[in-house]
Amino acid sequence: MRILLVEDNRRLSEAVQESLMKAGFEVDPVHDGDGALAAASGQQYDAVVLDLGLPDMDGIEVLKKLRARRDTVPVLILTARDALSDRVDGLNKGADDYLVKPFETEELVARLKAVLRRPARALDAVLTLNNLSFDTISREAVVGASRLGLSRRETDLLEQLIRASDKIVTKKAIESRLYSYEEKGSVNSVEVLVHRLRKKLLAQEAGIEIHTLRGIGYMMTGSKEC
């Protein structure tokens, strides 16, 4: 996995580069916006870690230029700006995730891995998380050799959660994806669905957990033990 690291602070760049390399990534460090755009057009990266405060242009500009030339490379913004508006702006402009400095290296690696799991381009992508793999074409969820045998809605839910693994998916987002307007009547239908999916994943020892943030939503993660 090859990562483009855009960070103007040399000391931080070195430190991040080292810790990412320790986690098994290959890292190309650049220190300004022009360098980032040049590097990204010369090579297909698996992900970009992007600082917003660059000497020659704002990181958001880099992101906009990348997206403007149809580069769908996953971008993780790493910045000292912690204002909500900055974060919303970054995500709206096409960033895949947003991490505020100072951060935990572990957190950065986990988020990067999560971002890398989301196949934005690959049509034949198979999403995997621990023992679970999900084929987005055949829409089949498999643990090891055995199928999970999910209903249509359970499959939709699984896809939504695994695509956003390590990130919260709100109940509202699930409802609007899974149910048509008239069907929303039953309040706890999402809860029932999550409960069933969780049971099936557990039964097959998929090494998957679905955490509940009660009142807000759900998050799928791979269990630590696996």
Partner 1 sequence: MLKTVAGNSLQGRLLRRIFAICIIAIAVTFLTVYTQMDRSLDMLRDRTVEEQARDLSAYLVPGRSVNKAAFALPDRIRLFYAKAGPAYQYLVRDKGGQILFRSPYAYASYFPAVPAQDGKFNFVGPSGYAFKGYALRETLGGNDYDIEVAQTTRAAGMMSDQISDSFMRHLVWIGLPFCLALLYIIMSTVRRSFGPLAAAAREVGRVSITAPELQVREEELPDEIVPFIKAINFSFRRLAKSLREQKELTANLAHELRTPLSVLKTNIEMQGKTPQSAKILRDVDAMIKLVNQMLDMTRLEYADTIEMKDVDLSSILSQVCQDLWPLFLKAHRELRVSGVDAPVTVRGDQDLIYRAIRNVLDNALEHSPAKTPVEVSLSGCAIRVRDHGATIPEGLREKIFDRLQRAPSAASRAGAGLGLSIVARTMEIHGGRAGLEPAAGEGNVFLLDFGTAQGRKAAA
Q: Which residues bind partner 1 (CB under 8 A)?
A: 9, 11-12, 15-16, 18-19, 22, 53, 80-85, 100-106, 168, 170, 172, 211, 213-217, 219
Q: Cβ closer to partner 1: 7 or 154?
A: 7
Measured from the CB atom, is 39 or 100 closer to partner 1? 100
CB atoms within 10 A of CB 200: 19
**39 versus 110: smaller Cβ distance to partner 1:** 110
| Tokens matching residue 92 | 């709206």
Instruction: Report the candidate in 63, 42, 50, 56 with the shortest Cα–Cα distance to residue 4.
Output: 50
Task: Indicate the residue among 139 and 211 with the shorter CB distance to partner 1.
Answer: 211
In the complex with partner 1, the residue whose CB is nearer, 140 or 175, is 175
Q: How far is the CB of 47 from partner 1 (least distance, A)?
A: 18
Q: How far is the CB of 12 from partner 1 (least distance, A)?
A: 5
Q: State the nearest-atom distance from the C-beta of 99 to partner 1, in Å.
A: 10
- State the minimum distance, in angstroms, from the CB of residue 108 to partner 1: 9
Going 187 to 169 to 179 to 140, the CA torsion angle's sign is: negative
Nearest 5°: the CA angle 202, 203, 209 is: 10
Shortest spacing between CB 126 and partner 1, in angstroms: 27
β-pair partners for 76: 49, 97
Task: Compute the Cα dihedral for 47, 53, 54, 57 and give only its sign.
Answer: positive
CB closer to partner 1, 142 vs 220: 220
Q: Give the separation between CA 77 and CA 220, rounded to whole angstroms.
A: 22
Cα diameter, the chain: 56
Q: Residue 216: which residues within 8 A CB-CB, separation 6 or more?
A: 168, 170, 171
CA distances from 103 to 13, 35, 40, 57, 95 (A): 13, 24, 25, 23, 18
- Reference 66, options 89, 48, 92, 86; nearest CA is 48
Nearer of residues 106 and 183 to partner 1, judged by Cβ: 106
In the complex, the smallest distance separating the C-beta of residue 204 from partner 1, rounded to whole angstroms, is 23
Q: How far is the CB of 88 from partner 1 (least distance, A)?
A: 9
